[in-house]
Copies of this chain bind each other. A is one copy, B any other.
């Protein structure tokens, strides 16, 4: 197993009103660690793009013990854990300077053919570099809880903005966390802290689309859907605990 780590320092513009790292930045840092590992192993973006392939994330499971504060130094460790011909599982663990694990992200990745956006078989020479364990079946992450057909939900519209699109010409994954969080009232956010997120991507959204971020909030659980018209773009389930900031 080839493990890799990066260090990041929490800057003021990476923190929200609580002074702690934003939810989207947690995901950005995780993806950054995996990108830098791929670069270090000589199988970075140039290599897979050159073959018409791209990595995509299918699902995230995030467990947050605590979010780091502005000026904290964080180490993020990652490795490709298991793979089969189509999927890779990859954990990311965030440590503070005392060596405490403060955030853990599990993720499932796949490769797509850039042209037709269809799932592609993982090239053996690329996957070999990560020294992951080959398995028949990748350990699944449970599906997020579904919306019931009669459930009452809140929703807001969000326009996909120019700056939501990254250099891969697709919406940055972390934007989904922003849309999901933003639909929750500031009053709730001021008195609750996320402990767990399970997010599953279903269909891509694009620049100029207007999506609906829907939420059902019940005590310490929120169920989320990102809808593009009648099509589910992503689903998630968040767990919350009471806090006083």
What is A's interface to B at a CB cutoff of 8 Å? 11-13, 15-19, 22, 24, 28, 31-32, 35, 70, 156, 159, 161-163, 165-167, 169, 172, 174, 178, 181-182, 184, 186, 189, 207-208
Contact = CB atoms under 8 A, between A and B. Distances in A.
28 contacts: A11-B32, A12-B32, A12-B35, A12-B166, A12-B167, A13-B28, A13-B31, A13-B32, A13-B172, A13-B174, A15-B166, A16-B162, A16-B163, A16-B166, A16-B167, A17-B162, A17-B165, A17-B166, A17-B169, A18-B167, A22-B163, A24-B163, A156-B159, A161-B178, A162-B186, A162-B189, A163-B182, A186-B207
Given A186-B208, A207-B186, A208-B186, A13 B166 contact: yes
Number of identical protomers:
2
Contact of A165 (B16, B70, B167): B16
A89 B87 CA distance: 54
Contacts of A165: 16-17
Contacts of A11: 28, 32
- Per CB-CB distance, the 3 closest pairs between chain A and chain B, nearest first, are A19-B167, A13-B28, A17-B165
